[in-house]
Protein backbone atom coordinates (compact mmCIF):
# COMPACT_ATOMS: atom_id res chain seq x y z
CA UNK A 1 0.00 0.00 0.00
CA UNK A 2 1.52 3.31 -1.07
CA UNK A 3 1.75 6.35 1.19
CA UNK A 4 -0.40 9.25 -0.09
CA UNK A 5 1.30 12.59 0.37
CA UNK A 6 -0.53 15.81 -0.50
CA UNK A 7 1.62 18.69 -1.75
CA UNK A 8 0.12 22.15 -1.65
CA UNK A 9 1.04 25.80 -1.45
CA UNK A 10 -0.05 29.13 -2.81
CA UNK A 11 1.01 30.64 -6.14
CA UNK A 12 4.74 31.38 -6.44
CA UNK A 13 5.73 29.29 -3.41
CA UNK A 14 7.83 26.78 -5.40
CA UNK A 15 5.43 23.84 -5.51
CA UNK A 16 6.38 22.59 -9.00
CA UNK A 17 10.09 22.70 -8.16
CA UNK A 18 9.44 20.84 -4.89
CA UNK A 19 7.30 18.23 -6.71
CA UNK A 20 10.25 17.55 -9.03
CA UNK A 21 12.50 17.01 -6.00
CA UNK A 22 10.10 14.33 -4.72
CA UNK A 23 10.08 12.73 -8.19
CA UNK A 24 13.91 12.74 -8.24
CA UNK A 25 13.80 10.68 -5.01
CA UNK A 26 11.62 7.99 -6.60
CA UNK A 27 8.18 9.23 -5.59
CA UNK A 28 5.37 9.12 -8.17
CA UNK A 29 3.87 12.59 -8.69
CA UNK A 30 0.36 13.45 -9.89
CA UNK A 31 -0.12 17.09 -10.84
CA UNK A 32 -3.69 18.45 -10.72
CA UNK A 33 -2.93 21.36 -13.08
CA UNK A 34 -1.32 19.01 -15.61
CA UNK A 35 -4.39 16.77 -15.41
CA UNK A 36 -6.64 19.72 -16.29
CA UNK A 37 -4.31 20.59 -19.20
CA UNK A 38 -4.67 17.01 -20.49
CA UNK A 39 -8.47 17.18 -20.20
CA UNK A 40 -8.59 20.52 -22.07
CA UNK A 41 -6.14 19.64 -24.83
CA UNK A 42 -7.12 18.28 -28.25
CA UNK A 43 -8.72 14.86 -27.74
CA UNK A 44 -9.00 15.53 -23.99
CA UNK A 45 -11.90 14.08 -22.03
CA UNK A 46 -13.42 17.50 -21.17
CA UNK A 47 -13.53 18.93 -24.70
CA UNK A 48 -16.84 17.41 -25.89
CA UNK A 49 -18.71 18.27 -22.68
CA UNK A 50 -17.40 21.84 -22.78
CA UNK A 51 -18.30 22.11 -26.47
CA UNK A 52 -21.88 21.13 -25.59
CA UNK A 53 -22.20 23.58 -22.67
CA UNK A 54 -19.88 26.47 -23.53
CA UNK A 55 -19.09 26.21 -27.27
CA UNK A 56 -17.40 29.63 -27.34
CA UNK A 57 -14.47 28.36 -25.19
CA UNK A 58 -13.53 25.54 -27.59
CA UNK A 59 -10.99 26.57 -30.23
CA UNK A 60 -9.33 24.09 -32.66
CA UNK A 61 -10.87 21.12 -30.80
CA UNK A 62 -9.32 22.17 -27.48
CA UNK A 63 -10.58 24.22 -24.54
CA UNK A 64 -9.01 27.69 -24.59
CA UNK A 65 -8.06 28.57 -21.00
CA UNK A 66 -7.90 32.26 -21.99
CA UNK A 67 -11.43 32.25 -23.38
CA UNK A 68 -12.62 30.34 -20.32
CA UNK A 69 -10.96 32.87 -18.02
CA UNK A 70 -12.61 35.76 -19.90
CA UNK A 71 -16.01 34.07 -19.72
CA UNK A 72 -15.70 33.40 -15.97
CA UNK A 73 -14.55 37.01 -15.54
CA UNK A 74 -17.79 38.21 -17.16
CA UNK A 75 -20.00 35.62 -15.45
CA UNK A 76 -18.55 33.97 -12.29
CA UNK A 77 -21.48 31.49 -12.24
CA UNK A 78 -19.86 29.75 -15.25
CA UNK A 79 -17.18 28.42 -12.91
CA UNK A 80 -19.71 26.13 -11.18
CA UNK A 81 -20.73 24.66 -14.55
CA UNK A 82 -17.10 24.07 -15.49
CA UNK A 83 -16.35 22.44 -12.12
CA UNK A 84 -19.27 20.00 -12.56
CA UNK A 85 -17.63 18.75 -15.75
CA UNK A 86 -13.99 18.96 -14.77
CA UNK A 87 -13.94 17.73 -11.15
CA UNK A 88 -15.22 14.19 -11.87
CA UNK A 89 -12.79 13.89 -14.82
CA UNK A 90 -9.88 15.06 -12.66
CA UNK A 91 -10.89 12.49 -10.01
CA UNK A 92 -10.92 9.78 -12.68
CA UNK A 93 -7.47 10.86 -13.91
CA UNK A 94 -6.16 10.71 -10.33
CA UNK A 95 -7.68 7.25 -9.76
CA UNK A 96 -5.98 5.98 -12.93
CA UNK A 97 -2.66 7.36 -11.66
CA UNK A 98 -3.08 5.58 -8.31
CA UNK A 99 -3.94 2.31 -10.02
CA UNK A 100 -0.90 2.46 -12.32
CA UNK A 101 1.63 3.77 -9.78
CA UNK A 102 4.18 1.39 -8.28
CA UNK A 103 6.14 3.83 -6.08
CA UNK A 104 6.04 3.59 -2.28
CA UNK A 105 5.16 7.29 -1.96
CA UNK A 106 2.54 8.94 -4.16
CA UNK A 107 2.69 12.73 -4.20
CA UNK A 108 -0.46 14.64 -5.14
CA UNK A 109 0.41 18.17 -6.28
CA UNK A 110 -2.88 20.01 -5.68
CA UNK A 111 -2.89 23.82 -5.28
CA UNK A 112 -6.32 23.95 -3.61
CA UNK A 113 -5.91 20.80 -1.50
CA UNK A 114 -7.27 22.28 1.75
CA UNK A 115 -9.84 24.48 0.00
CA UNK A 116 -11.43 21.42 -1.69
CA UNK A 117 -11.12 19.08 1.32
CA UNK A 118 -8.68 16.85 -0.59
CA UNK A 119 -6.41 16.73 2.46
CA UNK A 120 -8.84 14.25 4.09
CA UNK A 121 -7.83 11.58 1.55
CA UNK A 122 -4.09 11.95 2.25
CA UNK A 123 -1.85 10.20 4.79
CA UNK A 124 0.07 13.45 5.29
CA UNK A 125 0.32 16.91 3.73
CA UNK A 126 3.36 19.02 2.76
CA UNK A 127 2.93 22.78 2.37
CA UNK A 128 5.59 24.77 0.51
CA UNK A 129 6.23 28.20 1.93
CA UNK A 130 8.23 31.35 1.42
CA UNK A 131 7.96 34.96 2.61
CA UNK A 132 5.17 37.08 1.04
CA UNK A 133 7.78 39.37 -0.55
CA UNK A 134 9.67 36.51 -2.25
CA UNK A 135 6.33 35.05 -3.37
CA UNK A 136 5.27 38.36 -4.97
CA UNK A 137 8.70 38.87 -6.61
CA UNK A 138 8.72 35.34 -8.06
CA UNK A 139 5.25 35.62 -9.58
CA UNK A 140 5.79 39.09 -11.05
CA UNK A 141 9.23 38.10 -12.44
CA UNK A 142 7.49 35.47 -14.60
CA UNK A 143 5.86 38.34 -16.50
CA UNK A 144 2.64 36.37 -16.99
CA UNK A 145 0.38 38.45 -14.77
CA UNK A 146 -0.08 41.91 -13.32
CA UNK A 147 0.14 42.77 -9.64
CA UNK A 148 -3.66 43.11 -9.55
CA UNK A 149 -4.11 39.61 -11.04
CA UNK A 150 -1.66 38.21 -8.50
CA UNK A 151 -3.52 39.87 -5.61
CA UNK A 152 -6.83 38.54 -6.97
CA UNK A 153 -5.51 34.94 -7.12
CA UNK A 154 -3.92 35.19 -3.69
CA UNK A 155 -7.17 36.50 -2.21
CA UNK A 156 -8.98 33.36 -3.42
CA UNK A 157 -6.44 31.02 -1.82
CA UNK A 158 -6.35 30.06 1.84
CA UNK A 159 -3.72 32.22 3.62
CA UNK A 160 -0.30 30.58 3.54
CA UNK A 161 0.08 30.68 7.34
CA UNK A 162 -3.15 28.73 7.71
CA UNK A 163 -2.07 26.10 5.16
CA UNK A 164 1.30 25.73 6.87
CA UNK A 165 -0.38 25.36 10.28
CA UNK A 166 -2.66 22.59 8.95
CA UNK A 167 0.11 20.70 7.11
CA UNK A 168 2.14 17.84 8.59
CA UNK A 169 5.33 19.14 6.97
CA UNK A 170 6.38 22.60 5.77
CA UNK A 171 9.11 22.99 3.14
CA UNK A 172 10.71 26.44 2.99
CA UNK A 173 11.74 27.13 -0.61
CA UNK A 174 13.96 30.17 0.02
CA UNK A 175 16.86 28.33 -1.69
CA UNK A 176 16.97 25.15 -3.78
CA UNK A 177 19.49 23.48 -1.45
CA UNK A 178 17.41 24.24 1.64
CA UNK A 179 14.26 22.91 -0.04
CA UNK A 180 16.03 19.75 -1.24
CA UNK A 181 17.39 18.98 2.25
CA UNK A 182 13.88 19.25 3.72
CA UNK A 183 12.35 17.07 0.98
CA UNK A 184 15.01 14.40 1.52
CA UNK A 185 14.27 14.41 5.25
CA UNK A 186 10.50 14.02 4.66
CA UNK A 187 11.02 11.11 2.24
CA UNK A 188 13.44 9.42 4.66
CA UNK A 189 10.95 9.86 7.54
CA UNK A 190 8.03 8.42 5.54
CA UNK A 191 10.09 5.51 4.20
CA UNK A 192 11.18 4.77 7.78
CA UNK A 193 7.50 4.62 8.83
CA UNK A 194 6.67 2.35 5.89
CA UNK A 195 9.53 -0.01 6.77
CA UNK A 196 8.18 -0.36 10.28
CA UNK A 197 4.53 -0.63 9.32
Same domain, 111 and 97: no
> Per-residue pLDDT for the chain (197 aa), expressed as one digit of tens each?
799 999 999 889 999 999 999 999 999 999 999 999 999 999 999 999 999 999 999 999 999 998 998 888 898 888 888 988 899 999 999 999 999 999 999 999 998 899 889 999 999 999 999 999 999 999 999 988 888 888 888 887 888 999 999 999 999 999 999 999 999 999 999 999 998 86
State which residues form the domain around 169. 1-27+105-197
Same domain, 5 and 38: no
Note the Cα 172 to chain centre separation in Å: 17
On the CB side of 123, CA atoms within 13 Å amount to 14
From CA 96, how far away is CA 102, in angstroms rounded?
A: 12
pLDDT at 56: 93
pLDDT at 171: 98
Same domain, 73 and 132: no
Which of 57, 72, 102 is where one domain is finished? Answer: 102
Determine the angle formed by the axes of helices 132-141 and 147-156, rounding to 10 degrees: 130
pLDDT at 106: 98
Same domain, 87 and 116: no
Task: Identify the H or E element spanning 3.
Answer: strand 3-8
Same domain, 79 and 121: no
pLDDT at 121: 95
Say which residues have a Cβ less than 8 Å from residue 21's Cβ, sequence separation at least 6.
179, 180, 183
Which of 63, 86, 102 is where one domain is finished? Answer: 102
Amino acid sequence: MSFRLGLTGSIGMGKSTTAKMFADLGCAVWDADAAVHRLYSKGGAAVDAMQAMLPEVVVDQAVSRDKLKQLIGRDPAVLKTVEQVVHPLVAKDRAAFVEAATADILVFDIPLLFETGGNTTMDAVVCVSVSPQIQRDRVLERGTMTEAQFDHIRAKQMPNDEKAARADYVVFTDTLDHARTQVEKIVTTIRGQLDHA
